[in-house]
Structure 1
Amino acid sequence: MAIVKSKLLKQLSQNYPNFLKKDLEKFTDIILNEIKRSLRRGDGVELRNFGTFRVKTQKASIKRNPKTGEKVAVPEKKVISWKMSKEMFKKINNEE
């Protein structure tokens, strides 16, 4: 199940009732925009006890369209990769 921004804001407002909803929305916008800007510059982003985001270059290749079997040239592109931290891995796998 993916989390959308509205659900994240709802959860934050429940956990922190003293903050105004519009302030929480501004706060999350600032954080997400800074992450986007850093990745756009090619910098990595590390969120302690969560994971790291990095930009990697995926080489150009020839793929196959599964529906028609036709070969398709895919150009080089940048992709975002995420690696979870050891703490996150332990929490997900109940290893504490």
Structure 2
Amino acid sequence: HFPDNDERYKDISSLKLLENTYEILKRKKLTINNIDVSVVLEEPRIAPFIMKMKDNLAQILKISSEKVNIKATTNEKIGFIGKREGAASYCVVSLNDYTD
């Protein structure tokens, strides 16, 4: 839905993309059951920001922050993440279909 070679998305806020994704879910009659996010990076430490991140996601997606789980870990100095050349994140979203 958001190709990286489309100029409309150049420098766009990821929160705006999340809003657009929420609208897609609504059109497809899907609701979010829960979200689990893992962030892998050596620096900076994001633990002080996790609650605000959860609140931001919950607000945009119109769900309780209790349905959002965010974990942070390092890559133990292994690979490009461990060398501080990048970061990774993984997200699983459980959805409910309310068409019935």
TM-score for the superposition, normalised by structure 2 = 0.30
Q: Which has the larger radius of gyration?
A: 1
Greater relative contact order (CA < 8 Å, ≥ 6 in sequence): 2
TM-score for the superposition, normalised by structure 1 = 0.31
